Amino acid sequence: STTPTLHPAFAKSFANGDIKLLSSDNVLFPMSSDTLSRASGWFTAMFSLPQSPPDLAAGKACQCTELSVTEPSQVLCGLLSIISGIALPSLDDIDFVESVLYAADKYDMPMPTAVLRASALPIFLQKRPIRVYAIACHMSWEAEAKEAASRTLGLDIMAKENADDLGRLDTPYLLKLFALHDKRRRQLAEALDNFIIPAPIPAPAPAPAPWQGARACPCRGPWWAFKLAWSREPWRFARLREHDAPPSVAPEVDRLFNQKCSKCERAALEESAFKRIKQLFSQLPETIEVSSEA
């Protein structure tokens, strides 16, 4: 077998360490058993046993201070760096964050868990909400799971690029996420069908305007295009709720509020109607419950 490599940062910080952790890729991490006991409920319980500490990977008795663990050196280094105060590892890779977080959970280390929960997960909420949702569900973090589930509403959840992240979800949580998107789509379609557009007050003219609202006016085309697009691709319109006036989030929105009809010389909707569209948004389901069984 290959001779283990001593990690230089830990060799320097724990030159008199009474225990060494051996990673799965053959890197030794000198540590103090006192540091491990303070940081980890798992190690506290292990060191309290009268017999020699077991091999963590194989469950066998070990007569030396060298303990083998199943984590690779990158993950072990990140975990031990946090509990020992050597450094806060870079948290810009969600695969790394997930691995360190699950290792912290495995060894019952509250501090790394809290650090990663507060500092790392929010970084990925915008770009990787499905992945954050999977992590939060695994850790039984309901607040984070709800927030991440809500952020997925801005995604085409069935797009090919989301398949890997969806594959990490346990079936009950996957079904809940699908149910949220399906329920929201159905409720949206029904709400748009029932959305009544009042007839705007016509501008002064020699003769009365012959139309009554978007349903009768020839300019209703942009409304139907908006309605169809929002029903079919609701993720494209998720940012509507963030604005107090019609935003340029989709061409259908621009045409709905800005394109003038050639006959009535009005837009399909006045800006005042945008408040009612936002009210429609507020009535749609936003997230899921994760604490109960699916």
Instruction: Report the pLDDT value the prediction gives residue 217, as an integer from 0 to 100.
Output: 55
Instruction: Say whether pLDDT at 216 is over 50.
Output: no
Residue 60 lies in a domain: yes
> Please, are residues 113 and 104 in contact by the beta-carbon 8 Å criterion?
yes
| Residue that wins the pLDDT comparison between 290 and 166 | 166
Instruction: Say whether pLDDT at 240 is over 90.
Output: no
Q: Which of 68, 90, 112 is the last residue of a domain?
A: 90
Residue 143 lies in a domain: no
Distance CA 237, CA 231 (A): 10
Instruction: Report the pLDDT value the prediction gives residue 116, as an integer from 0 to 100.
Output: 96
Domain harbouring 50, CATH code = 3.30.710.10
Residue 67 lies in a domain: yes
Instruction: Say whether pLDDT at 205 is over 80.
Output: no
Q: Which positions ≥6 away from 68 have C-beta within 8 Å?
A: 21, 22, 24, 55, 56, 57, 58, 62
Q: Which of 58, 90, 122 is the last residue of a domain?
A: 90
Instruction: Report the pLDDT value the prediction gives residue 170, as an integer from 0 to 100.
Output: 95
Residue 119 lies in a domain: no
Q: Strands 19-22 and 27-31, how do they pair?
A: antiparallel
Q: Which positions ≥6 away from 274 have C-beta within 8 Å?
A: 245, 246, 257
Q: What rounded mean pLDDT belongs to the chain?
A: 85
Instruction: Say whether pLDDT at 135 is over 70.
Output: yes
Q: Which residue range(s) make up the domain with 12? A: 5-90
Give all strands (DSSP E) within 24-151, no chain letters. 27-31, 66-68
| Short-list 241, 238, 242, 237, CA closest to 256 | 237
Instruction: Say whether pLDDT at 211 is over 50.
Output: no
> Please, are residues 46 and 93 in contact by the beta-carbon 8 Å criterion?
no
| Short-list 272, 265, 273, CA closest to 217 | 265
Residue 112 lies in a domain: no
Q: Which amino acid is at 284?
A: L
Composition of the chain by helix, strand, coil, percent to 5: 55, 5, 40
Residue 123 lies in a domain: no
Distance between first and last Cα of the chain: 48
**What average pLDDT does range 172-179 have in this prediction?**
96
Phi, psi of 209, rounded to the nearest 5 degrees: -65, 135
Record the pTM.
0.82
Q: Which of 90, 108, 138 is the last residue of a domain?
A: 90
Distance CA 83, CA 77 (A): 10
> What is the share, in percent, of the chain residues with pLDDT greater than 70?
85
Residue 244 lies in a domain: yes
With cut-offs at 50, 70 and 90, classify the pLDDT of residue 51: low
Count of domains for the chain: 2
Burial class (CB in 10 A: 0-12, 13-18, 19+), 52: exposed
> Please, are residues 162 and 147 in contact by the beta-carbon 8 Å criterion?
no
Residue 242 lies in a domain: yes
